[in-house]
Structure 1
Amino acid sequence: MINLTELPQWQPPWSASGANSLIRISSSALKKVPGNCEVEKVAKAHIDIKQELKDWSTRKDTRAVFLLGAVQKILALPRTPANIDEFVRKELGVSATEPSIRAAKSMVSRALDAVEEFAAEDLAVDLVLRPTTDFVCVAASDTQRLELTSWGVYYQNEDKSFRELRLFCYKNADLTRDRNQLVAAVNVLLNGAITDGSPAIWTEPYQTLPTNPPQRVRVRQIGCVDGSAATLFDGDAASAAAFVGGITSVVHEFLVDPHFVPGNSCVECRFRVSCPEIVKSPGFLGLPTSGKISKSLSKTMLNSYQRCNYQYFLASVLKLPKSEFESTQALVRGQAVHEWIMKAHERQIPCSIADLPESGLGEIASSLGWAQEYLDQARSWISSHFQVCPLQTPNTKLRSEESRTIWDSDADVVITTRADEVGVRNEKPLWREIKTSSTLQQLTEAEYLLLYPQVAFAIGIQADSGGTVELEILTPESGKVLSFDTTDPRIVLAARKAMAISFDAIHHDEEFLASPGMACINCPVSSWCDKRVESANSKEVIVEGLTVDVVTGEIINDQPVAIDALARALALVEPVDQTDDVPF
């Protein structure tokens, strides 16, 4: 049991009122996820501490619903409803869209299949488990209460000597959970008390009932999209006690010195109005209104929107589970070039032809563990980099892949980008973005800012500190660098105009019309889409007069073309976000 007198007393890094009287920590909060803000999780855990500034509530699209909630509700019932479609629709609410309903029904079906398999396995050893209310592990004194929880569905056998928790994920249930999260989940099963239901109000403590300790506990996980299932822990009380012996240190580590990590998730954080770390820049994007909902945006999301407005809606607004698919030649090549350059620049010396021998891998590719075939597909583009390597200029120091986040509080948009390289040159800030292409487009400065809005974003960020933003474009034949002086008001104005143009449509769109066709190929949410069409898996497609080779990434045009058409064509060969952020 955790000794409350030894519990670290967290002090919020902003003006706040209240006391550390009720702390509620979920096992999901304890998992370490790159890019997740530790401070936000700790602040949410301190139920009775309120920031003095008014909460900046996130304005959510009412059509965005919690899919796993429907899965959890059905599995927690003593009997499966006769009409699952009706139950799912009622649980998700009247605002739920058909794609969300389709996804939830599929996930429920897969989860129920896993439950049947579990039941058959248990029955073979004369074990029958039934759903029960949640368990919570409580440590309390006269002035403070700590509650440890874990979200899922709980089960017990008839004599209550056996407890089980079933967790949910989308895919790959056999992958091990973060150890801290699993330790916390097992601890709740072993040392927790059964609850009298969830608190009527979140700020109220759980009401627990008298509970005898179990003799055996088990944690299982269900992949609700791919139907996978796995046992993550299964042991008697003694082995469980040994496994959770470090729970005190896990909780201490969580509460002591949490770190800020600004990013896309800031849009969900009610503390962002008080947060000292997120850069607040009213009017940064130059958008005329705050739109209907709070948003987090990135270049990947903009690519998705340009491919198909509806694809962006399903993936980034409704947050439906995404499918994985094989990357195209263009994407693999671009990633390889990026990896090679980033690794080479760790040395802080100029890249040269000696780094890329005609035969063999060379030092850089060898250190990356590459096969010869992987290097060969990127060789020509890497060779072109030697002509324009930024470290050729004296007094240049670079760091790779650092994230930058801005909250435009006027538009209520959090925008995040990961800079390819940032650093200094002659003691002045330097930011460089690197892009690969099969051909070099002859565009104006303003057109490049529209085609690559992350460059405009970089200029906007650097405007106050000065310095230079560079765009490096590599083709198999040559390399080119465009340099933007962020102390030039004309450049800054052009960048702000480009950002406003790039993000205006996505910011104000409420209908998200579909563009069925080539965007359906390799669409990460096509499984749930009610607008998709079956298109021939063509190597070449036509986008407003442009021929796009979706395999090599080549964009072919023999005559001048509108920049917005070129941007939409480029979006077809840009990376697609295939990752899912499942909070539980």
Structure 2
Amino acid sequence: MEGRADILRISASDAQDRLDGCGAYGALKIRPNLKAAAWARRFDNSQPFLLGMIREICTRLHSNPRVDTWEGLDHEIDAELKAYALHPGSRAYARHAIENYLDAHEVGGADIDPLTFRLFDPQVAVGPGRTLTVWSPVYESGTGIREVRRLRFGGVRPPGETPDRWTAVAARVAALTNPVGDIGRIRVTEIGLGDGSFQVLFDGTPESTLPLYEGIALASLRTIDTARTMTPGYSCQDCKIAGCCGAIEEFDGFLGQESPGEGTRSVSARDIEAYGTCAARWHLDMACHLPKERFTGAGSRRGSLIHHWIATAHVRSRRCVPSDVGDFSDPDSFTSTLTADEYAEVSPYLRQHLATCPLGEGIRLIATESPLYGYDRSADVVIASEPDALYTDADGCFVIRETKTTNQRLPRDDREAFERFLAVPWLLNLLGTGYRGPHRAESARLELEVLSRDESRLFTWDLRDGAALSAARAAVHLRSAAWHRDTTWAASPGEQCAWCPVRRWCPEARAGADED
């Protein structure tokens, strides 16, 4: 690492979000002057930072006299948005969010004196080299009220019995920021840009923010500061040392791309499948995180229940047997946390699993549904996977096991299974790029277990099968090439629009639904 480790800048979001997951990520995040000597994250600037753009437009519109009428507001929002190169779906959401913010500004301030925007993102010193900050617009009234606002893509969250850590830090920063005049009241509020919801998270005197901060947030900030554990996970995609971190795997060449894309990205097999269906859906849902509708079909829900049962059953480190899948009321049945109705729905599939359960004598279970992260240096991409099970067999061979459920007919052979399920070439490619599990076994294989109500089938690919590894490498390269280079994320309207979770924001999705 290079730079000074004693300079800390801790945000309210750090206080709220950095206690879980990788400790080193949080400790590095709050040290802006400390950087990796051998690697630097590249940022994709092809699209603007959506929340930042929205709040800047909103604060400009506060003082625009043309927004007094609906027609004037509509025209001015259009004029503001034209200055930004936006995806059509992001543009639709931004328009909606700006209108909701301005409405919430009026409604939320109806019972207090008029508020005027003052500044963004206040920072206050709390010790030598230590700064507290909050990513928020700050408003003030002429009568001594100061308000900081938390913005959410969707709606406000249900309040807890006590303020959360974000609120405690935000309130303290607001109290310590130099006032224009005398500040006697601090408000921390929250606005849901997706639905225009508004709530007050804290309302008190500047003096009352100190015990709130010390009682709720301070201990957590000290934990984040001193954390050193390195746990690969979701934060890898944003980490400043992902490309040179010894805690994640080296998957150089995994995607088969010869050069980096627009910026450092993260991808999983699920991402590539979603992108293949519609690039706009992937961008708006998985990259922009816009508010979404939930379309969880019966098959998806059933698959989740089956995976949950198998994962919890395997934690016992013994083979699943017929008595595990008896009647729900039978005390010998392993019902996990399923309800009686859920168990009745999935038990036919679970009985088919008994014939292909991987556990038994000599089997050493390593992990179930454990996230696996690596870095492809050639593509500058973090590779994310979550195999259903990792184990070593009686001969010491390392095995990746993936389980799929279906109401269709089962694949006839290995080739059909390879082509139907992207997880097969994806996980085979993990083996092909050198992954051998935590014990670095010399031999390895991939197993695909496919379950239906009436039968199960197990497909196997061995590390020694050079043709299978070559086919996997080619499949991953082909499926990821367009995603790797894309910066426009064009929509692909079709029947999938009917259940697209972000169709609300996509003009082409609405057109596709009309055609259907």
Matched, 1:72 2:55: yes
Aligned to 1:133: 119
Cα-Cα RMSD: 3.0
- CA distance in 2 between partners of 1:374 and 1:34 (Å): 34
**CA pair 394-439 structure 1, distance change in 2 beyond 3 A:** farther
Q: What amino acid is aligned across from residue 307 of structure 1 in structure 2?
A: T
Mapped to 1, the partners of 2:235 and 2:92 lie a distance apart of 26
Per the alignment, residue 25 of structure 1 pairs with 10
- The answer to whether the 8 Å contact 1:77/1:131 transfers is no
Distance 2:451 2:29 in 1: 45
* Counterpart check, 1:43 vs 2:28: yes
Alignment match of 1:438 (pick from 376, 393, 407): 407
Distance 1:363 1:258 in 2: 43
- Identify the residue that residue 439 of structure 2 maps to in structure 1: none
Count, aligned residues? 496
Residue aligning to 2:319: 350
**What is the CA distance between 1:445 and its match in structure 2?**
2.7
Taking a change above 3 Å as real, the CA distance of residues 179 and 108 of structure 1, as seen in their structure-2 partners, is same
- 440-449 vs 511-520, greater mean Cα deviation: 440-449
Could you say which residue in structure 2 is the equivalent of 1:115? Answer: 105
Equivalent residue letter for 1:442: P
Specify the code of the residue in structure 1 equivalent to 2:346.
A
Which residue of the partner structure matches residue 499 of structure 2?
522
Give the whole-Å Cα distance in 1 for the aligned partners of 2:135 and 2:331. Answer: 49
> Residues 210 and 252 of structure 1: is their aligned pair in 2 closer, same or farther, counting only changes over 3 Å?
farther
Matched, 1:399 2:367: yes
Which residue identity lines up with residue 16 of structure 2 in the other structure?
K
Amino acid at match of 1:138: A
Q: Which residue is equivalent to 1:286?
A: 256
Q: Scaled by the length of structure 2, what TM-score is found?
A: 0.86
> How much has 1:430 moved relative to structure 2?
2.2
Q: Provide the rounded CA distance (Å) in 2 between the counterparts of 1:111 and 1:27.
A: 21
Contact 2:242 2:382 in 1 (8 A): no
Structure 2: how far apart are the matches of 1:229 and 1:390?
51
Determine if contact 1:304/1:312 at 8 Å carries over to the other structure.
Answer: yes
Q: Post-superposition shift, 1:105?
A: 1.0
Cα distance change of structure 1 residues 136 and 310 upon mapping to structure 2, 3 Å threshold: closer
Amino acid at match of 2:348: S
Aligned-pair distance for 1:221?
A: 0.6
Displacement of 1:303 in angstroms is 2.1
What residue in structure 1 maps to residue 70 of structure 2?
none
Change (3 A) 1:346 1:20: closer
CA distance in 2 between counterparts of 1:148 and 1:215 reads 21
Q: 1:362 to 1:473 in 2, by over 3 A?
A: farther
CA deviation after TM superposition for structure 1 residue 399, in Å: 2.1
Question: Residue 358 of structure 2 is aligned with which of 382, 390, 399?
Answer: 390
SS in 2 for 1:139: strand
Q: Against the structure 1 CA distance between its residues 537 and 442, is the aligned structure 2 distance closer, same or farther, given a 3 Å change threshold? A: farther
Q: Tell me the distance in 2 between the aligned counterparts of 1:299 and 1:218.
A: 44
Separation of aligned partners in 2, 1:44 and 1:371 = 42
Secondary structure of 1:120's counterpart equals: coil
Q: Which residue of 2 aligns with 1:568?
A: none
On the 8 A contact 2:251/2:377 being kept in 1, the answer is yes
Matched, 1:224 2:193: yes
Contact 1:174 1:231 (C-alpha < 8 Å) held by counterparts: no
In the alignment, which residue of structure 2 is the partner of 1:495? Answer: 472
**% identity of equivalent residues:** 23
Q: Which amino acid aligns with 2:142?
A: E
For residues 455-483 of structure 1, give each alpha carbon's deviation from its aligned partner in whole angstroms, at most 9, with x where no partner exists: 33323333433323211100111111112
Q: How far did residue 267 of structure 1 move? A: 4.2
Partner of 1:573: none
CA 1:299–1:460 in 2, change beyond 3 Å: closer, same or farther?
closer
Q: Tell me, in whole angstroms, the C-alpha distance in 1 between the residues paired with 2:164 and 2:333.
A: 34
Q: Are the counterparts in 1 of residues 414 and 460 from structure 2 also a CA contact under 8 Å?
A: no
- Pairing partner for 1:428 from 392, 397, 409: 397
- Which residue of 245, 255, 269 corresponds with 1:275? 245
Cα distance between partner residues in 1 of 2:331 and 2:200 = 44
- Residue aligned with 1:407, SS: strand
8 A contact 1:74–1:80 mirrored in 2: no
Out of 81-90 and 461-470, give the one that drifted further: 81-90
Query: For the structure 1 residues 293 and 193, does the alpha-carbon distance in structure 2 shift closer, same or farther, using more than 3 Å as the test?
Result: closer
Verify: 1:482 aligned to 2:459, yes or no.
yes
Q: Aligned pair 1:173/2:153, yes or no?
A: no
Residue 407 of structure 1, CA deviation: 1.8
Aligned pair in 2 of structure 1 residues 165, 513: CA closer, same or farther (>3 Å)?
closer
Residue of structure 2 aligned with 1:249, choices 219, 223, 237: 219
- Aligned equivalents of 2:313, 2:86: Cα separation in 1: 49
Amino acid at match of 2:157: D
Question: Partners in 1 of 2:38 and 2:492 — Cα distance?
Answer: 43
Q: Aligned-pair distance for 1:220?
A: 0.9
CA distance in 2, matches of 1:133, 1:361: 64
Q: 1:84 deviation in Å?
A: 5.6
Distance 1:34 1:454 in 2: 31
2:147 aligned residue:
164
The one-character-per-residue Cα deviations of 1:516-563 (angstroms, maximum 9, x if unpaired) are 12110111221111212466799xx9xxxxxxxxxxxxxxxxxxxxxx
Is this contact kept in 2: 1:88–1:104, CA < 8 A? Answer: no
Q: Is the 8 A contact 1:356 1:362 kept in 2?
A: no
Taking the aligned partners of 1:361 and 1:462, their CA distance within structure 2 comes to 41
Residues of 2 paired with 1:20 and 1:392: CA distance? 50
Q: Secondary structure at the match of 1:383?
A: helix
Matching residue within 134, 138, 163 for 1:154: 138
Query: Which residue number corresponds to residue 506 of structure 1?
Result: 483
- 1:270-329 residue CA offsets vs partner (Å, 9 max, x unmatched): 433332223233212223443444432212222212222332243345x15031224111
Counterpart secondary structure, 1:121: coil
CA apart distance, 1:411: 1.9
- Residue 347 of structure 2 corresponds to which residue in structure 1? 379
Q: For residues 416-441 of structure 1, give each alpha carbon's deviation from its aligned partner in whole angstroms, at most 9, with x where no partner exists.
A: 11111113223432221110011333
Shift of 1:330: 0.7
CA distance in 1, matches of 2:383, 2:196: 34
Aligned AA (1:256): T
CA distance in 1, matches of 2:79, 2:384: 34
Q: Is the 8 A contact 2:108 2:199 kept in 1?
A: no
Q: What's the CA shift for 1:222?
A: 0.6
Shift of 1:410: 1.0
Q: Amino acid of the residue matched to residue 324 of structure 1?
A: E
Distance 1:412 1:326 in 2: 33
Residues in 1 aligned to 2:469 and 2:206: alpha-carbon distance in whole angstroms: 64
Give a deviation string over 1:25-53, Cα, whole Å, max 9, x none: 11112223698644334324323334322
